[in-house]
Amino acid sequence: MTAPDAPDTHLNPGDAATPGTPGTGENLCRACRGTGQQDGKPCPECGGTGRVIEGIGGG
C-alpha cells in the first residue's frame, strides 16, 4: 500500500511519462476520445481513465 502523499507512478500504455514529470501534462486519450471505454470495456490505452500523460511544450 502506498502512502497518501506518494506520487502515482502507475503507467498506462498511452502514457509517455509518470504523472508530475516536468515537461508533461494530462491530455485526453486519443484511442477512446476521453471516455475511458472501448467496446464496452476499459480502454487498454489509458486504463479506463480517459486521460494519458504526454509531453508538452515546443521545441
**pLDDT at residue 10, as a whole number:** 80
Q: Identify the helix (H) or strand (E) that includes residue 28.
A: strand 24-28
- How far apart, in Å, are the Cα atoms of 57 and each of 22, 24, 25, 27, 54? 10, 8, 9, 13, 10
**pLDDT at residue 19, as a whole number:** 87
Per-residue pLDDT of the chain (59 residues; tens, 9 = 90+): 445 555 556 889 898 999 888 999 999 999 999 999 999 999 999 999 999 999 987 65
**pLDDT at residue 8, as a whole number:** 59
Question: 0.95 cut: is pTM over it?
Answer: no
